[in-house]
Amino acid sequence: MTDPITDMLNQIRNAEAVQKTEVLLPFSKLKNEIANILSQNGFIGEAKKIAKGKNKTLKIHLKYENGVPAIEGAKRVSKPGQRIYVKSTDIKKVRGGFGVAIISTPKGLMTNSQARKAKLGGEVLLEVW
């Protein structure tokens, strides 16, 4: 597991393919923030941190509409081998505004629309639609 964000996206995709209701992932602050942003934008249900002793896991409830997953697609943009940075003026809409891009800014993780309004650029981590 060299890229935990890609691993997170793959586990969510695989769980949605077999209609699972939840996914358990190893906890990290970054994954937790990404899950919270996806939850706020209606792509997943709630995300909780579960601590059992020293082991911490992130429990993500998946969201379906009439048996169809709420996440139609997800793409990792900035990878460990090639980082992608954008200025606030170069931030684009994802799928004509139907998706969101999660951007790591100096003020923390934000969606593309929040970063554009705050006039902050940063690293584009992923796109979800």
Q: What is the pLDDT of residues 17-49, one digit of tens each?
A: 999 999 999 999 999 999 999 999 999 999 999
The whole-number pLDDT of residue 53 equals: 87
Chain-centre distance of CA 78, in angstroms?
A: 13
93-118 burial, b at 16+ Cβ within 10 Å, e below that, comes to ebeeeebbbbbbbeeebbbbebbbee
Whole-angstrom distance, CA of residue 58 vs CA of residue 112: 24
pLDDT at 1 over 70: no
Fold that domain 4-69 belongs to in CATH: Ribosomal Protein S8; Chain: A, domain 1 (3.30.1370)
Domain map (residue ranges) of the chain: 4-69, 74-128
Fold category of 74-128 in CATH:
Dna Ligase; domain 1 (3.30.1490)
pLDDT tens-digit series, residues 56-114: 999 999 999 999 999 999 999 999 999 999 999 999 999 999 999 999 999 999 999 99
